[in-house]
Amino acid sequence: MTLSTTARNNQVNAFGTTINTGAGANGTVEYGNSDMSAIYITWNLDGTNPLTAPATGVATFTGQPIAATGGTTGTATHYQLKNKDGGVDLGPLPLAANLSVVAGQSYDLSGTVTQPAS
């Protein structure tokens, strides 16, 4: 089965709405260890529109690259996305490559959300 572009864009929009749910200021992306008991760095997503408008089932994080400062030194192996209330909407999932995080150092985040056609 192949999804239409409209269906793919609707799925990406729905995920953006999920991240934007809650009473807090913004959703977040966190990098941490495998069970996320140690969070090394947290990026704050845009509080109004965390994702750009999708095209062909692909959207990027609004305002990327998004800067954040390492909070704790350690090796990040996993990530998760949280909504405005701090609930985990995605993850923890393994990073494509581990990241050595140093407390106080600045890190930029860029990313996409993709709904494939099939």
Identify which of 2, 4, 16, 7 has the alpha carbon closest to the alpha carbon of residue 111. Answer: 16
Say how far apart CA 56 and CA 18 lie, in whole Å: 20
Identify which of 52, 47, 101, 99 has the alpha carbon closest to the alpha carbon of residue 78. Answer: 99
Bridge partners (DSSP) of residue 76 are 99
Letter for the amino acid at 24? G
The token pair that represents 103 in the structure block = 């407390």
User: Taking all residues of the chain, what is their mean pLDDT, rounded to a whole number?
Assistant: 96
Looking only at Cα atoms, what is the longest distance across the chain? Answer: 47
Residues belonging to the chain: 118
In the prediction, which pLDDT does 104 show?
A: 98
Judge whether 99 and 73 are in contact, CB under 8 Å: no
Of the chain, the end-to-end C-alpha distance in Å amounts to: 6
Judge whether 33 and 22 are in contact, CB under 8 Å: no
% the chain with pLDDT above 90: 98
pLDDT tens per residue, range 65-76: 999 999 999 999
In the prediction, which pLDDT does 36 show?
A: 98
